[in-house]
Amino acid sequence: MPSLESTLNIYPLKNYSFITKNDYMENKDPSLPGYFNRLKREFKYLGQRTTVKTVLLVHDNNMINVLLLRMVPQFYLLPGGQIQPNECEEDALKRYLFDYFGLDIDTQTKPIDVIAHWWRPNFEQNQYPYIPAHISQPKELTRIYLMSLNERATLSVPKNYTVVATPLFELYNNVGIYGEIMASLPQVLSRFNFNIIT
């Protein structure tokens, strides 16, 4: 699925309308400790977990923004989640883009490239963009996909989430609010050329 394509058209935020739909309850864990406990239980039977996340870009006044989801104040996430057993990554991307935005990967969006890999070496919060040398069995791989958007679309967002168009300059090195993965997006996106369409 990776591509040699390095130029991506970015359309204005005003080209997209947002409507609400029923709550989406993907989160099986009420807390981070619950997430890590489930990861530990599942690791015994399934091995390393693979997670896919998506990056969707728009622009607002010629400033590139990432569409993030906010669950509660100051808790942001990229759309995506865990790949189910016997599910390929493309099918997982289709499922999550439909669940979070009502987008059809065949007609409204497409994967451009894998832009990052983040590894969770242990059953804890820390993730790294490499596998630490002393780790032989990482517990989770998070693969970040850059997706294109059609020029216009209606996005159906679950009521329990808010879509936040977040400028790259706000994400840059802002680990305290957005975490390592989102705060690194300006760097990993810098290899692409963006064609700002007005």
Query: Quick one: pLDDT at residue 2?
Result: 46
Q: State how far the Cα of 80 lies from the Cα of 99, in Å rounded to an integer.
A: 9
Angstrom distance (rounded) from CA 102 to CA 83:
18
Residue type, 45: Y
pLDDT at 5: 55
Beta bridge partners of 116: 144
Q: Which domains does the chain have, with CATH numbers?
A: 7-127+135-191 (3.90.79.10)
Question: Following DSSP, what letter does each residue of 128-159 receive, concatenated?
Answer: BSS--TT-SS-SEEEEEEEEEE-SSEEEEEET
pLDDT single digits (tens) 58-106: 999 999 999 999 987 778 999 999 999 899 999 999 999 999 999 988 8
Can you give the pLDDT at residue 153? Answer: 95
Taking the CA atoms of 5, 163, 31 and 186 in sequence, report the sign of the dihedral they define: positive
Question: Rounded to whole angstroms, how far apart are CA atoms 90 and 110?
Answer: 10
What is the rounded average pLDDT for all residues in the chain? 91
Give DSSP secondary structure letters for 7-66.
Answer: EEEE-BGGGEEEEEES-------SSHHHHHHHHHHHHHHH-SEEEEEEEEEEEETTEEEE
Give every residue of the chain whose pLDDT is below 70, as ranges. Answer: 1-5, 24-30
User: Residues for the chain: how many in total?
Assistant: 198
